[in-house]
Amino acid sequence: MLQGIRAASEHWLGKIVLAIIFSLLLFGIGIYGVEDLIRGGGSNAVATVGSTQISTEQVRHAYQNQLERYQVQLKRALSPEQARALGLDRQVMSQLITEAALDQKTRDLGLAVPDSAVLRAIHEEKSFQNAQGAFDPQLFYQTLQRAGLNESRFVQEQRAVIARIQLAEAVSGGLTVPVALREAVHRYTTERRAVSYLFLTPSDAGQIPEPAEDELKTWYEANKDRFRAPEYRAVNVLVLDPEAVARSETVSDEDARKAYDLNKARYGMPEKRTIEQIVFPDAAAAAAARKEIQDGAKSFEQIAEARGTSGQELTLGTLSRDELFDKAVADAAFALPEGGVSEPVKGQFGEVLLRVTKIAPGTVKPFEEVAGEIRKSLALQRSRDRIDDIRDAIEDQRAGAKPLADIAAERKLALVAVQAVDAQGKAPDGHGVAGIPDADTTLPAAFRAEVGGDNEPLRTKSGGYIWYDVARIDPPHDKPFEEVKDAVKAGWTAAETAKRLQAKGRELVEKLDKGETIEAAAKDVGVNPQETSDLGRNQPKDMLTADVVNLIFATPVGKAGSAASNDSRAVFKVTAATVPAFVPDSPSDKTVTQNFQSAIADDVLTQYIAEVQKNAGVKVDQAALRKVFGGEY
């Protein structure tokens, strides 16, 4: 197939699409190996879009790809339950149904991608080119062979992908952003405002009288959710950590000394030399200069000055051999005695003469000084090598219903017994519970589990494992009034204070809207007025929070407003608003256009795909889906 149609390949779209596809192909080979790529699709369909089927094998392969991406990002393995909680199964099915819907539509419309589009992309794909940049058929076939793909199947699959992208581009390409929308965005982002304002503090609310018991109880009933105890769980956590296992490892003196002899450079400082360098146009000039130095006719400094080199330009620095980029220079410099001048050296940047002005000998710590560090490092390495064996042994004990506490005691591993913790990691007293290993992973898993459940171990960031058992679940409940009476009183008082400040703020706003100055209003309440300008939307400034600023932008120029600000209240009057002139096709307008073009295209394409799916009809085999993912659907 390829041989007959290569020469006619001229289309550019295939190149763009296939560049992505080839990357995914090679990525798949690297991560999953050949086996996953060559497996034939199953005959059973998990879902059908129109007449387009999504096979079990397609779903399984796409799911494994997505799972691997998440695990690489999170740097840990995910159990099936964790993957479902993240919605990986739903993401995969949504993606496959979308692709099937586009495939169905391209067939309905009779869209076809010519061989030339696919072949041109193959020709220009760098993964299939030789050192001279020409397409190499042998390299192409070798790549397909490693992936277990034949030419016909590969071209067929890529043709389908290109057709989907062509359809998507036809639907969402060429959309324009209305000028009215661009102008609205320009006004929203560039408008600046100026205000005069004052702050009412809790002391301006006056003396709040002591509340009656009935008042507190009424307020408590109306705000019970504020005093609701969350769900607490008692959890036992067993930690298998490489460092803990390493403590039980015994490293002999012989093994430690062997490691020391192999890595001596790691336990000291390398020799360093202060090196000077003069660059010459050719070897003859360098040799002539060296002869002048040897004969005493000129000094190294005089030669350097004649070559226009002096001061910092002359000195390369005080460097170790590994710090020198040029190997030829490094070899020559470290072969010289202190004060010696080298023969001409052909360096990366020309012929050079070198002089070593100072040598700082290398030092190596004696074995006795680093023996403890070496033993610890070797023990940790060995523990990592056998940690999976220990995990398997613990899993066997778990299968035999052995309690975590007994396993921990037997194997001298850390067991963390948490008596009560909520989903945020806090104890009933409101303080954080210390000592929960990898709490950001362990807690969510523990709050998805059940008492007595068979839970899979979690992988830790350090390469170990965590087992957890839920011993008790205390469901959420309302705390009784007597238990939270002090907190209820504080909440009631804060609410009364805010109510009074709101009323006083409303009075001041009415006065300002009737023409009273901010200075007069401030004098009435005994506070100092303030002014600020160049306020940007959503941007706090001075004492004005982002919420207050946004209310300022919602208030007409010349009008006043009031807004809560923490435990105080701001009262303000908008004195000015400015908006720079809108300039079509300016850099900022082009940025807005690009951003909205992408958003509009995504929205249009999403609606189109939904309509295609609706018209074609989507059927999902729930039994087959459960077989692939497990769980309920």
Cβ density class 277-312: b for 16+ within 10 Å, e for less: bbbbeeeebbeebbebbeeeeeebeebbeebebeee
Query: Considering Cα of 554, then 558, then 563, then 567, what sign does the dihedral take?
Result: positive
Query: Among 189-203, 267-281, 522-536, whose mean pLDDT is lowest?
Result: 267-281
Helix ranges (H only) for 457-484 are: none
Sheet with 458-459, strands from edge to edge, namely 414-421, 232-240, 465-474, 458-459
**Residue where a domain terminates, one of 428, 449, 475:** 475
Confidence of residue 595 (pLDDT cuts 50, 70, 90): confident
Residues 35 and 124 in one domain: yes
How far is the C-alpha of 488 from the C-alpha of 204, rounded, in Å?
Answer: 22
| Residues 215 and 236 occupy one common structural domain | no
Residue 241 DSSP symbol: -
Classify residue 186: in a domain, yes or no. Answer: no
608 in a structural domain: no
Tens digits of per-residue pLDDT, 331-349? 999 999 999 999 999 876 6
pLDDT(218) > 80: yes
Same domain, 146 and 23: yes
Token pair, residue 414, equals: 């850390």
Residues 335 and 220 in one domain: no
Nearest by Cα to 481 from 297, 218, 290, 238: 218
pLDDT of residue 28: 38
pLDDT per residue as tens digits for the range 132-178: 888 776 677 667 766 656 676 777 777 888 888 888 888 888 888 99
310 inside domain: yes
Are 286 and 326 in the same domain? yes
State mean pLDDT over 351-367: 87
Claim to verify: residue 56 and residue 152 sit in the same structural domain? yes
Q: Which of 116, 144, 112 is nearest to 128 (CA)?
A: 144
Closest CA to 82 of 506, 559, 629, 600: 629
CATH code for position 331 = 3.10.50.40
Q: What is the pLDDT of residue 147?
A: 60
H helices present in 296-366, as ranges: 300-306, 327-333
Task: Note whether residue 622 is domain-resident.
Answer: yes
Here the CATH number for the domain that contains residue 468 is 3.10.50
Domain stops at, among 361, 385, 409: 361
126 in any annotated domain: yes
Question: Has residue 9 got a pLDDT over 90?
Answer: no
| Same domain, yes or no: 242 and 347 | no
Write the pLDDT tens digit of every residue in 477-524. 999 999 999 999 999 999 999 999 999 999 999 999 999 999 999 998
pLDDT at 75: 73
**Going by DSSP bridges, is the β-strand pair 350-360/272-280 parallel, antiparallel, or unpaired?**
antiparallel
Residue type, 144: L
Residue 62: band (very low, low, confident or very high) from pLDDT cuts 50, 70, 90? confident
What is the SS3 assignment for 506? helix
For the cut 80, the answer to whether the pLDDT of residue 591 exceeds it is: yes
The helix/strand/coil state of 624 is: helix
Place 599 in a pLDDT band, splitting at 50, 70 and 90.
confident
Residues 350 and 451 in one domain: no
The verdict on 298 and 406 lying in the same domain is: no
Domain presence at residue 261 = no
pLDDT score at 586: 93
| Model confidence pLDDT, tens digit, residues 391-406 | 888 899 988 889 999 9
Mean pLDDT of the chain: 83
Instruction: Examine residue 185 and state whether it is found in any structural domain, yes or no.
Output: no
Confidence of residue 38 (pLDDT cuts 50, 70, 90): very low
> In total, how many domains does the chain have?
4
In angstroms, rounded to a whole number, what is the distance separating the alpha carbons of residues 367 and 260? 7
221-236 average pLDDT score: 93
Domain that holds residue 394: 231-248+370-475
Any idea what the CATH number is for the domain that residue 41 is in?
A: 1.10.4030.10
pLDDT score at 140: 76
Percentage of the chain modeled with pLDDT above 90: 39
Contact 55, 41 (CB under 8 A): yes
Judgement on whether residues 353 and 457 belong to the same structural domain of the protein: no
| Amino acid present at 283 | A
pTM, full prediction: 0.51
pLDDT for residue 8:
35
583 falls within a domain? no
Indicate whether 149 and 196 sit together in one domain. no
Higher local confidence (pLDDT), 533 or 251: 533
pLDDT at 370 over 60: yes
Q: Who has greater pLDDT, 8 or 461?
A: 461
Q: Is the pLDDT of residue 19 over 60?
A: no
The pLDDT score that the predictor gives to residue 417 is 93
Largest CA distance in the chain: 109
Among the residue ranges 170-174, 300-304, 555-559, the one predicted with the least confidence is 170-174
Choosing from 361, 378, 401, the residue where a domain stops is: 361
**11-25, 115-129, 318-332: least confidently modelled range:** 11-25
Whether residues 11 and 135 fall in one domain: yes
**Dihedral pair phi/psi, residue 298, rounded to 5°:** -140, 155
The least confident of 256-260, 378-382, 558-562 is 378-382
Average pLDDT over residues 367-372: 76
| Higher pLDDT among residues 90 and 573, named by residue | 573
Please tell me which of 170-179, 461-470, 534-543 the model is most confident about, judged by mean pLDDT.
Answer: 534-543
Average pLDDT for residues 531-550, to the nearest whole number?
93
Higher pLDDT, 84 or 457: 457
User: Which residue reads 């009074």 in tokens?
Assistant: 500
